[in-house]
Amino acid sequence: MKKQFLIASTYVAVALCIVFLWISMASAFDPEVVEANPKLVNLSADWKPPTVYNVTDGVFVAVGYARANPVLIEGTDGLIIIDPAESETAARIVKAAFNAHLDNIFAKKPVKAIIYTHYHDCHIHGATVFAGNDSPEIISHESLPKNLFSPPGAVYSLIFPTKSYRAIKYMGLPYQQDPGYFINGGIFPFSIPGPSGYLPPTITVQDELETTIAGVDLVLMHAPGETSDIIFVWLPEKKVLVQIGNFYKSFPAITTTRGASFRNPLDYIASIDKMRSLNAEYLVMIHSGKPLVGAENISRTLTNYRDAVQFVHDQTVQNMNKGLTPGEIIEVVELPPHLANDPYVQEYFGQVDRDVFQIFSQYMGWFTGKCRDLFPMSPTDEAQEMAELAGGVDQLAAKAQDALDEGKLEWALILADDVLLLNPEHAGARAIKNAAMISLAEETYNAQTHNYLLSEYLEETGQITIPIPAFSRIDENLVVYMPMDTLFGIMAVSLNASKSLDKDIVVGLHLTDLTNTIELADYTMHVRRGILEVQPQIPDNPEFTVTTESLVWKNVVLGKLDPQEAVSEGDIVIADADPQELYNFLALFK
């Protein structure tokens, strides 16, 4: 049975009910059950059953209801919400849990503030649900709006199609409701897709903000690490630290299989040291399970965690300075026993060898320093050479089978994939690759690896279809807040080079709603032999000029609005040309 999964809102246009995420159901896949590493299976107990924890007086955290753990702080005359979950759908579930646990608290006190710890989708998209009609302040680091929409790391930007596609796979979204395949996400139990309820910040933090909200004293501190815009929340009177991104119950992912922007290990260390200095009695994790309690316990756990990060960083750099490549470094760098055995440093989400590669890349780029790596080779060329060395494609498939039989699962996967690059219909190689992917998924306790392997297995065996999402799948709420620079970047990377190599077209754009605002209202769009250049003024002699509102132009460019419809409705006015000229121009971006 083939299933198709389409992207929308935060990641997928399917509203998943929390009830179905934990119940058993008959598998629609073949095989019906893929066994999982007991260590990964046992990790799910951190979220089962879903629980609202009373951390201390007036501080509550909902664990196991959504991808992140939203926090509610009760003040004298209002409520504070930290990280309102990944979607409006998820937020409604969490809000109902808080109401059930706290005697319908949202009917008794207004929400005075919503705090975003950083820009990742599971921390921002449920804001409207918690805000309701209360008009709370929305607080974040000052760089959050830029990080949300600006490259290189932003999802809602130039790399939306590929990053969203890979996110679907690494989170195991296509089979979350199937307990024969899905276990958890390593630092989260599951994800609940749905519409975006993001609200833009009304107050921003630069380095530190001391404030009192609803009678509660808070200190918001900038703590970069997993992202550059992370803030943690410190309640000095309650000795409660609420944090995310720099510490969770797993060795950290300096990068992810989804793809991530630059994450500096030294930032992690500095930010964790800042947290250690507070001597917190309670540590709330917005990813992972229940809060940590006790200053000594928290100090020991944070110290081991930052030491693990520093050990891997320092040993990677030390071996780089000896001339080793990342492939050689992973052979010699491993955590010492006192860190490797710490329950909060297990490789449920991040992985030491991957972080070694990422650290090397961040310092040195792609080149390993060895001449053999000076000449990048396509996977197909490499596969062809492997086949010739083996004596032919069938002989290479036999080598893949040997590797599988000998338990060399990674090699079996690689060699079988090489065969399939040369002959996609090779049944033997397909069976070997399938067996290798399933066996590797059964063996690993890293959730990213487990989920990605099974997603690719189900996709390649035709049991599910995961289309690479188009820019048109970006949630409508987010399009409203998307900067024009981001939109023009999307246009640039969408330009069809083969269609435009012989083109030299200058078009003016006037955005009526931005006139007399601090934003630019006039632009030149110049398609010139395979590239798009955009400048902030109307050109002197354009082929034609488009006059419209910014949201109309965004929706047309993103493929959410038919340009012919916009012209016929009068939402787009074209000067000095027939409308067909506009349609021809836009066709260059397909």
Residue 436: partners with Cβ closer than 8 Å, 6 or more residues away: 404, 409, 410, 412, 413, 416
Instruction: Please state the pTM of the whole predicted model.
Output: 0.94
Q: In what order do the strands lie in the sheet with 208-213?
A: 208-213, 216-222, 231-235, 240-243, 282-285, 292-293
The answer to whether the peptide bond before residue 467 is cis (omega within 30 degrees of 0) is: no
- The mean pLDDT of 394-401, rounded to a whole number, is 98
Q: How does pLDDT run across 336-356, given as a tens digit for each residue?
A: 999 999 999 999 999 999 999
**HEC letters along 67-88:** CCCCEEEECCCCEEEECCCCCH
Confirm whether 1 is domain-assigned.
no
Helix (H, G, I), strand (E, B) or coil at 299: helix
Q: What are the tens digits of pLDDT across the range 201-227?
A: 999 999 999 999 999 999 999 999 999
Q: Tell me if residue 365 falls in helix, strand or coil.
A: coil
pLDDT at 18 over 60: no
Single residue among 438, 465, 492 that ends a domain in this structure? 465
Q: Assess whether 507 and 558 both reside in one domain.
A: yes
Examine the domain organization and report whether 487 and 515 are in the same domain. yes
Predicted pLDDT at 11: 37
Shared domain check, 493 and 423: no
Please give the Cα distance from 586 to 590 (Å, whole number).
8
408 forms beta bridges with none
Residue 387, domain CATH: 1.25.40.880
Q: How many domains does the chain have?
A: 2
Residue 490 sits in a domain whose CATH number is 3.30.1050.10
Q: Where are the alpha helices (DSSP H) in 239-286?
A: 265-276
Domain end among 416, 436, 465:
465
Instruction: Let me know if residue 112 belongs to a domain.
Output: no
Task: Tell whether the model's pLDDT for residue 40 goes beyond 70.
Answer: yes
Whether residue 538 is contained in a domain is answered as: yes
Give CA–CA dist 268/225, Å, rounded. Answer: 4
More confident residue, 198 or 590: 198
- Does 153 score more than 80 pLDDT? no
pLDDT, tens only, 76-126 = 999 999 999 999 999 999 999 999 999 999 999 999 999 999 999 999 999
Examine residue 387 and state whether it is found in any structural domain, yes or no: yes
| 487 and 582, same domain (yes or no) | yes
Q: Tell whether 407 is covered by a domain.
A: yes
pLDDT band at 27 (very low <50, low <70, confident <90, very high): low
pLDDT of residue 262: 83
pLDDT attached to residue 12:
36
CB 446 within 8 A of CB 347: yes
Is the domain of 520 the same as that of 461?
no
Please report whether residue 270 resides in a domain: no
Segment 27-38 mean pLDDT: 93
Residue 321 has pLDDT above 80, yes or no: yes
With cut-offs at 50, 70 and 90, classify the pLDDT of residue 306: very high
Q: Considering the domain boundaries, does residue 519 fall inside one?
A: yes
Mean pLDDT of the chain: 94
Which residue range forms the structural domain that includes residue 400? 379-465
151 pLDDT exceeds 80? no
pLDDT at 545: 97
> Would the pLDDT of 260 be above 90?
no
Q: Is residue 87 part of a domain?
A: no
**Minimum mean pLDDT range among 148-162, 172-186, 403-417:** 148-162
DSSP string for 482-530: --HHHHHHHHHHH--HHHHTT-EEEEEEEEGGGTTSSS--EEEEEEETT
Mean pLDDT of 521-546: 97
- Same domain assignment for residues 428 and 494: no
561 and 490 in one domain? yes
* % residues pLDDT > 70 (the chain): 95
pLDDT of 152 reads: 78
| Residue where a domain stops, chosen among 430, 465, 500 | 465
